[in-house]
Structure 1
Amino acid sequence: MSGVLDGKIAVVTGAARGLGRAVARAYASEGAVVYALDMLADEVATLAEEPGDIRPQRLDLTDAAEVAKVFAAIEAEAGRIDVLVNNAGIIFYNPVEAVSVADWDRLMAVNLRGPFLCTRAVAPGMKARRAGAIINVSSNAGVVGGLDESTYCASKFGLEGLSRSLSHEFTPFNVSVNTITPGHPMHTAMSEITYPPELRKIWKDPMELTPAFIHLALQDASGITDKRIRAWDMVQELAGTSKAP
């Protein structure tokens, strides 16, 4: 690894498993100090055994008071937050009449309220320093509807709208805001319950998508911002090869 993130302080939510875990490991391998946050305290704690400086913590990102407390503690300890990856997310499939209000509220709290709370927590510091990168993990479900995905699609469409607005708010402060989707089937705990057999044949390890996250972590408002990125396409572009899966 080249150490391109040496000195950066990064926060990754949903870091216990899948893409979030891969991003935390990749950032640490490039020299960043990584605060890996997740509700799954025991699982995220194992990241401390990985190479690099990874500092796992439990976080319920649906709890506004807890988010404020944890992010304030990170800023106090590290001095700043340079990169925020809002990765945590949950999904379920149900026809709309079978979606309970409690299920709707829970998914929205994780997938949309969580990124809002985390972004609100880093905003004062990033704006004051006039530096930072915010990366919101979206989905194809953020632009295209899916069968029995009304709740999940609503959360990801909301995240896309939040991100587009935030990019305009943060640009005068030199902070980049982008959304990113995998752009290719990937093997995660979520995909094990959502992918049909044909997609499982071509799924990739999430680590293969992390060069895109590293590249976006290096951006400010003069570079890539207000974009919806397909991670696999960016990985191919960075490698100078075809976009085709």
Structure 2
Amino acid sequence: MTLRNPLPGAVGLSHISAYEWPAADGVCGGSPHLHLACAEAYVVTDGSGAVQTLTPDGYAETPLRPGVVAWFTPGTVHRMVNGDGRLRVTVLMQNSGLPEAGDAVLTFPPEYLADPRRYAEAAALPAGEEEAARAAVRRRDLAVEGYLTLRDALRAGDPGPLREFHAAAVRLLAPKVPAWRERWRDGALAAAQATGAVLDALERGDGTHLDGARVTSTGPTRPDGFGMCGRRQEYEIPDTTVPPRSPAG
């Protein structure tokens, strides 16, 4: 059997320093968005703040402080809020590779979601620190504009605009699904199938795979980029494929 060595569960890992830029509503934080195919978890390591969320059940705000782990399923619009200016979060993403391939949709106003080119232009970050920072502020503010409309409707008891946003997000990104499927097959699915193969071998009394035990470590490979929630340190896990080994004897 051939085993790869992803992070446990084939998750994605990054560190986020929440943005300190105030938005139109006076809140300091990131760009509201959702993920179409991936669950996400926040592990709070420093500072305090909150994550504001929108689902068909309504608006909620979950406090964030060191030691808190908060997670949410695909379809949850989330906005990281920087409470004391020091909020630091380790983010765990399901299906490593899919979020990086663009399974997130920002809560831009409907006219942006209806035009893939216009959406891509508004979401893009140019090269260069200062230019990227200005673009990150612009896209955050545009996402907050759409987010506030969705939130206000939910507060009034109307989930219709949120469901319309869900539908627009699906239409916008559906063409990318075939490429996502390949990443999922090579990543999260392959990791789960490898576990199944190990269980089959153990049931037969075969522990040959243990000969391939190894340790892997890495540091941030994309430090201090502009993520949707804040300044982001990403980790790209190297390919450490374990070659198959023949049973002894």
Return the index of the structure with the highest Cα Rg.
2
Scaled to the shorter chain, the TM-score interval is under 0.3
Q: Report the TM-score, using the length of structure 2 for normalisation.
A: 0.27
Looking at secondary structure, tell me which structure has more helix per residue.
1
Q: Report the TM-score, using the length of structure 1 for normalisation.
A: 0.28
Looking at secondary structure, tell me which structure has more strand per residue.
2
